[in-house]
Amino acid sequence: MAIIITDECINCGACEPECPNTAIYEGADDWRYKDGTSLEGTVVLTNGTEVDADEAQEPISDELYYIVPDKCTECKGFHDEPQCAAVCPVDCCVPDEDHVETEEQLLAKQRFMHPED
């Protein structure tokens, strides 16, 4: 499953540069599928949804750092453990029960975003 940042976040910013999928954004910042991935133009996600990878998407939080579930792979394919959770000083990066995925699904997402790795 994806990781979610809870409202205990203190906006320290430590997690953001650690994410291998660029799935973490500062509150109120727009996000894009193409940021930090190989995606560009119109793409069909592994869940079948068609999106424009270049298009700016609405922030998920206006106040706190947030994680884009479609881009988070729990660090599968890159690291043994979620890097955001490893560096967060207040342990507010936790499993997102609303976005449960199997290891195979997470690895498929990782390969989809980074086919050249």
Interacting residues toward ligand SF4 by CB under 6 A: 3, 5, 9-15, 18-21, 23-24, 65, 67, 72-75, 82-84, 87-88, 90, 92-93
Question: What are the DSSP calls for 40-71, one per residue?
Answer: -SEEE-TTS-EEETTS-B--S-SSS-EE-TTT
Rounded least distance, CB 104 to ligand SF4, Å: 16
Task: Give the shortest CB-36-to-ligand SF4 separation in angstroms.
Answer: 10
The secondary structure element, H or E, covering residue 97 is: none
Residue closer to ligand SF4, measured from CB, 43 or 72: 72
Nearer to ligand SF4, 53 or 114 (CB): 114
Least distance in angstroms from the C-beta of 55 to ligand SF4: 20
**Measured from the CB atom, is 42 or 115 closer to ligand SF4?**
115
Per-residue b/e over 3-31, b at no fewer than 16 CB within 10 Å? bbbeeebeeeeebbebbbbbbbbeeebeb
State CA 26 to chain mean position distance. 12
Smallest gap from residue 41 Cβ to ligand SF4 (A): 23
